[in-house]
Chains A and B, each alone.
Chain A
Amino acid sequence: MPDTLTKCPTGIHGLDTITGGGLPSGRPTLICGSSGCGKTLFGMEFLIRGIQQYNENGIFVSFEERPRDLAENVASLGYDLPGMIADKKLIIDQISIDRSEITETGEFDLEGLFIRLAFAIEAVGAKRVVLDTIETLFAALTNAHVIRSELRRLFFWLKEKGVTAIVTGERGSGTLTRNGLEEYVSDCVILLDMRVTEQVATRRLRVVKYRGTAHGTNEYPFLIDEQGITVLPITGINLSYPVSRELVSTGIDKLDRMLCGTGYYRGSSLLVSGTAGTGKTSIAAHFVDAACRRGEPCIYFAFEESPDQISRNMQSIGIDLASWAEKGLLHFAAFRPTSFGLETHLSTMLKLVEQIKPLIVVLDPVSSFMAAGTEIDARAMLMRLIDFLKLQRTTALMTTLTSAGHAAEQSEVGISSLIDTWVMLHNLEQAGERTRTLSIVKSRGMSHSNQARELLLTANGIKLVDVFVGPNGGILTGSARIAQEAADRATLVALNQDVARKQAALQRKRNAVLARIAEMQSELTVETEEVELAIAQQNSAASILVTDRTAQAQERENTGDQR
């Protein structure tokens, strides 16, 4: 039954991700590259991390540098080699062959080297061995035939010993190593490279060959800094990060309402683009201010202004960033993108993010990275940074400067696909003045406003004002908007006055009608009284008539008898 390949973790940041677990365990690995690209440090870190993290002791066989120099070199990285040597965890063995004092005559082999190695391996129970740079043998000894066969034997011997070995080799012209070491070390070959593009040096690493296992085949940038080697896998991160459904406020009330009423998704990536002076930094300051008010730690990466300058400027719109910095919630990190290579910047930023664990990171502006490297490199770097921040569920707010005259959508096409929410700022120039407008180009996962708003920088922060659509379809901002507002007010006043007039007229009419009703009623009353009086008079007249007739009848009777 075939054994599956076991891997020996290097502990070097990122390398174990690319190789899927580390170097082939119990086998030699060839690290080749031109001088100064980090081979020795690579080997040394492999040993040191083995001792510190995996409890595997190591041997460093140096054919070039003196042990003292090696110890001093890595002491700057915080590694205590003399301490490890004293603890019997590490042996640094220098093999120096001075060609000037050596004569070769007759047959020989390198058994002496084997014996030294075996002795050292046994002395500390080493599991890891570094041979740096074994090719020096070719320069020291003339009989290349013997060296070749002995090296072949050495690598077999190392395998038999079961130690994981790193063999370094100098890059040759047209071949991976000057003396073709890659012929002997066939399990794993890693190529280190340092290239200078537009005056910026970038170190790169590529796994040329890794027998029996899948591995990342790309060139990966790597860095050497005070924490040793860091390899940055571009595509090492798959798109499987969990997302938050929590909505948080932008700090600008009306912008929250333009998004979905509440704000942006925590952990999303936001881009604020605009030409010079459109208020990108001010918006970023609002985000930071809102986050700090919620008690969330923030990092503000400033690439064009000093922290002091940003704090001062933001004070003019009523945002006190300096006090958040004093409280320890806001961390400023300001540096010029052109000061280092992109990879160094990325690593610096990643480390700071890992250390501070912020909930929001501001990059102001990312467009300045385009100046530090090629556009492709800058884009790749931003992609890695955004991916990294997403994994950490950290909100990334990036500002980017779009040059006037370009279509903003076009110039930002590079990273816009990585962006969840894109706020675009415009500088409108009309009627002899410039006004700022804000609109939301996209916001994934929420129904956002598609209306432009006018952006006002006031002493109390950013205010977003509804804009007017002018008669010819354009929007009205600034004094045109104010004029329009005044005109609207006048119209409103006129309308109101008209209504009042009409209402008064109606009232008058009502009053007139009521008056007439009262008049007619009183007429009716008078008439009724008159009629009733007449009736009464007639009734009394009738009764008088009846009385009179009776009286006359009686009178007539009386007078008739007498005659």
Chain B
Amino acid sequence: MSDTASSMGWELRLYVAGQSPKSAAAILNLKKLCETHLAGNYRIEVIDLLESPRLSVDDQIVAVPTLVRKLPTPMRKVIGDLSDSERTLVGLQLRQTPKDTTLS
């Protein structure tokens, strides 16, 4: 899947609730996005709140699916099934604005 997170690596946590279409879409979209932009430098943890509801408190999860960027800090959250990859990239601060399409 990926290399273990380096010191500069990305640690992402995706909260879902059960096996809903939204959850599946979010997982798929996230994996695709990471492979494209963060290849080899990320780790994804998928948490099903139905199984471990206690974890919803720590990251203040209200909506699902929610993607939480644990590392690098500061924490960022992206809510939704991540279908709009441009907005997702902005949310994860991989890109400054949606209009800025150039990647260094």
Interface residues of A (CB under 8 A from B): 93, 95-97, 101-113, 115-116, 118-119, 137, 141
Contact A95 B78 (CB under 8 A): no
Contact B22 A112 (CB under 8 A): no
Contact A101 B76 (CB under 8 A): yes
Contact B56 A112 (CB under 8 A): yes
| Residue numbers in A under 8 Å from B57 (CB-CB) | 93, 116
Contact B17 A108 (CB under 8 A): no
Q: Which of B29, B50, B53, B92 has the most CB of A within 10 A?
A: B53
A231–B71 CA distance with the chains assembled, in angstroms: 52
CB closest residue in chain A, given B22: A107
Contact B50 A104 (CB under 8 A): no
Min CB–CB distance B51 → chain A (angstroms): 10
Contact A103 B91 (CB under 8 A): yes
Does B39 sit at the interface, judged by CB under 8 A?
A: no
Residue pairs across A and B with Cβ atoms less than 8 A apart, 13 shown, are A93-B57, A97-B60, A103-B79, A103-B87, A104-B87, A105-B84, A105-B88, A108-B65, A108-B81, A110-B64, A111-B49, A119-B53, A141-B63
Query: Which residues of chain B from 31 to 89 have any CB-CB distance to chain A below 8 Å in the complex?
Result: 49-50, 53-54, 56-57, 60-66, 74-85, 87-88
**In the complex with contacts A111-B49, A112-B66, A105-B78 CB distance below 8 A:** yes
Contact A106 B25 (CB under 8 A): yes
Contact B80 A106 (CB under 8 A): yes
**In the complex with contacts A101-B75, A116-B53, A116-B57, A109-B64 CB distance below 8 A:** yes
Which of B49, B53, B54, B84 lies in contact with A106, CB distance below 8 A? B84
CB closest residue in chain A, given B74: A101
A102–B63 CA distance with the chains assembled, in angstroms: 11
Does B15 sit at the interface, judged by CB under 8 A?
A: yes
CB closest residue in chain B, given A96: B60
A527–B67 CA distance with the chains assembled, in angstroms: 160
A118–B56 CA distance with the chains assembled, in angstroms: 12
A419–B104 CA distance with the chains assembled, in angstroms: 89
Contact A108 B83 (CB under 8 A): no
A102–B61 CA distance with the chains assembled, in angstroms: 11
Contact A106 B83 (CB under 8 A): yes
| Residue numbers in B under 8 Å from A101 (CB-CB) | 74-77
A40–B84 CA distance with the chains assembled, in angstroms: 38
Which of A96, A104, A108, A141 lies in contact with B64, CB distance below 8 A? A108
Min CB–CB distance A101 → chain B (angstroms): 6
Contact B77 A102 (CB under 8 A): yes
Contact A112 B17 (CB under 8 A): yes
Min CB–CB distance B100 → chain A (angstroms): 15
Min CB–CB distance A62 → chain B (angstroms): 12
Min CB–CB distance B12 → chain A (angstroms): 14
Which of A93, A97, A104, A115 lies in contact with B17, CB distance below 8 A? A115
Min CB–CB distance B96 → chain A (angstroms): 13
A95–B58 CA distance with the chains assembled, in angstroms: 10
- Those 3 A-B pairs whose CB atoms lie nearest each other, nearest first: A103-B91, A106-B80, A106-B83
| Residue numbers in B under 8 Å from A111 (CB-CB) | 17-18, 49, 63-64
| Residue numbers in B under 8 Å from A93 (CB-CB) | 57
**In the complex with contacts A105-B78, A107-B80, A112-B66, A119-B54 CB distance below 8 A:** yes
Contact A112 B61 (CB under 8 A): yes
A110–B20 CA distance with the chains assembled, in angstroms: 13
Min CB–CB distance A3 → chain B (angstroms): 32
| Residue numbers in B under 8 Å from A112 (CB-CB) | 15, 17, 49, 56, 61-64, 66
Q: Which of B17, B85, B90 has the most CB of A within 10 A?
A: B17
A111–B82 CA distance with the chains assembled, in angstroms: 16
| Residue numbers in A under 8 Å from B61 (CB-CB) | 112, 116
A90–B90 CA distance with the chains assembled, in angstroms: 40
| Residue numbers in B under 8 Å from A105 (CB-CB) | 78-85, 87-88, 91
**In the complex with contacts A93-B57, A97-B62, A115-B17, A102-B79 CB distance below 8 A:** yes
Contact A106 B91 (CB under 8 A): no
| Residue numbers in A under 8 Å from B26 (CB-CB) | 106
| Residue numbers in A under 8 Å from B84 (CB-CB) | 105-106
Which of A108, A113, A115, A118 lies in contact with B79, CB distance below 8 A? A108
A106–B16 CA distance with the chains assembled, in angstroms: 14
| Residue numbers in A under 8 Å from B54 (CB-CB) | 119
CB closest residue in chain A, given B69: A101
| Residue numbers in A under 8 Å from B18 (CB-CB) | 111
| Residue numbers in A under 8 Å from B83 (CB-CB) | 105-107
A101–B85 CA distance with the chains assembled, in angstroms: 17
Q: Which of A95, A103, A108 has the most CB of B within 10 A?
A: A103
| Residue numbers in A under 8 Å from B60 (CB-CB) | 95-97
| Residue numbers in B under 8 Å from A137 (CB-CB) | 62
CB closest residue in chain A, given B53: A119
Contact A107 B49 (CB under 8 A): no
Which of A96, A118, A141 lies in contact with B53, CB distance below 8 A? A118
Contact A116 B65 (CB under 8 A): no
| Residue numbers in B under 8 Å from A95 (CB-CB) | 60, 62
Min CB–CB distance B34 → chain A (angstroms): 15
Min CB–CB distance A81 → chain B (angstroms): 18
A111–B77 CA distance with the chains assembled, in angstroms: 16
Which of A102, A107, A110, A113 lies in contact with B81, CB distance below 8 A? A107
Min CB–CB distance A146 → chain B (angstroms): 8
Contact A103 B49 (CB under 8 A): no
A104–B64 CA distance with the chains assembled, in angstroms: 11
Min CB–CB distance B13 → chain A (angstroms): 13
Min CB–CB distance B53 → chain A (angstroms): 4
**In the complex with contacts A95-B60, A111-B17, A103-B78 CB distance below 8 A:** yes
| Residue numbers in A under 8 Å from B76 (CB-CB) | 101-103
CB closest residue in chain A, given B75: A101
| Residue numbers in A under 8 Å from B66 (CB-CB) | 108, 112
